[in-house]
Structure 1
Amino acid sequence: MFKTLLLTVDVNDLKGSERPAEVAKTMAERDDAELHIMNVVPDYGMSIVGSFFSADHNKAILQEAKVALETWAGERFAGLPKVRLHVDQGTIYDLVLKEAESVSADAIIVGAHKSQLKDYLIGPNAARISRHAKQSVFVVR
């Protein structure tokens, strides 16, 4: 059914990524699909905030995220032959949508964080991804 899947995870909340990971693994195994796993390190929001950090800070943060994602994915997806990892920095929903297009994903799997009054049903990134994606989006609680 799906040839290419994109799973989004947050390496700072890997416990919250367990259920979406289970769903993605099941889908990948069932369809013999290529599975792309993506973590996006949020940017600083305002350029003035970024000016307080050293030039190497971004590189170090991205490297830490990459190592964390490799370790986590290696434990959960060891049996899957078609797993690709991606780490980027910027606006989460925007980069997820771009990556989905880049890898020609048929489906995106995202986790839904616990609802807060302002988010109501799903978090703001999952909501934006769901609204704007050209692919099917599975929001996993």
Structure 2
Amino acid sequence: MATKILLPIDHTDDQSWKKALPVALEQAKFYGASLEVVSVIPEIVLLPNLPANYGAGAKDHVTGILRGVLDANGAEDVAIHIEEGSVYREILKLAHKEGFDLIVMASAKGDFPNYEIGPNLARVVRNAHCSVTIVRA
């Protein structure tokens, strides 16, 4: 039984949520669990030729995109986490730190029998402390 569900979303790829978001919402309703979303943006490396505030507003930008997606799909009350760094590491750290007991993730699009499971999904499945549901895209 799940009490806290985490749904990772790539704000640049609607395949990461089109099928997974409805499944996560259904699971949350079924279990009476809370649902939260995470998006991981690459860590911004400050180079000498970039302005000091380069990358400022990136988290707000991604939050705005995710809020639009969630609001348009019946998930207005879902909390959003924006992390910076390695995708799979940040998902695993957040899931462990915040006590999530189910992660719902979308696979990449692929035809049978060669469903595409990318490196981030594979690492989350292998290393998660909790159950992971894979939603085929």
Whether the TM-score (by the shorter chain) exceeds 0.5 is: yes
Q: 1:66 aligns with which of 60, 63, 68?
A: 63
- Where structure 1 has 5 or more consecutive residues not aligned to the other structure, the ranges are none
- Where structure 2 has 5 or more consecutive residues not aligned to the other structure, the ranges are none
Going from structure 1 to structure 2, the CA distance change for 1:53 and 1:69 (only over 3 Å counts) comes to farther
Query: Offset of 1:64 from its aligned partner?
Result: 0.8
Going from structure 1 to structure 2, the CA distance change for 1:123 and 1:31 (only over 3 Å counts) comes to same
* Kept after mapping to 1: 8 A contact 2:42/2:84: yes
Going from structure 1 to structure 2, the CA distance change for 1:54 and 1:138 (only over 3 Å counts) comes to farther
| TM-score normalised to structure 1 length | 0.83
Amino acid at match of 1:3: T
Specify the SS of the correspondent of 1:58. Answer: coil
Query: Offset of 1:120 from its aligned partner?
Result: 7.0
| TM-score normalised to structure 2 length | 0.85
Task: Show the counterpart of 2:40.
Answer: 40
Specify the SS of the correspondent of 2:117. Answer: coil
Task: Show the counterpart of 1:114.
Answer: 109
Amino acid at match of 2:96: E
Q: 1:136 aligns with which of 113, 131, 137?
A: 131
Across the aligned residues of Structure 1 and Structure 2, the Cα RMSD in angstroms comes to: 2.1
Q: Distance in 2 between matches of 1:40 and 1:22?
A: 20
Q: Distance in 2 between matches of 1:16 and 1:37?
A: 11
Query: Offset of 1:17 from its aligned partner?
Result: 1.5
Q: Distance in 2 between matches of 1:34 and 1:4?
A: 5
Question: How many pairs were matched up?
Answer: 132
Query: Offset of 1:137 from its aligned partner?
Result: 0.6
Q: Which runs of 4+ in 1 moved over 4 A?
A: none
Superposed counterparts of 1:1-141, under 5 Å: 1-43=1-43, 47=45, 50-51=46-47, 52-78=49-75, 81=77, 83-114=78-109, 121-141=116-136
> How big is each residue's C-alpha offset from its partner over 1:36-94, in whole Å with a ceiling of 9 and x where there is no partner?
101111235xx5xx415433232222211011111111222346x5x211111110000
Query: Offset of 1:114 from its aligned partner?
Result: 2.8
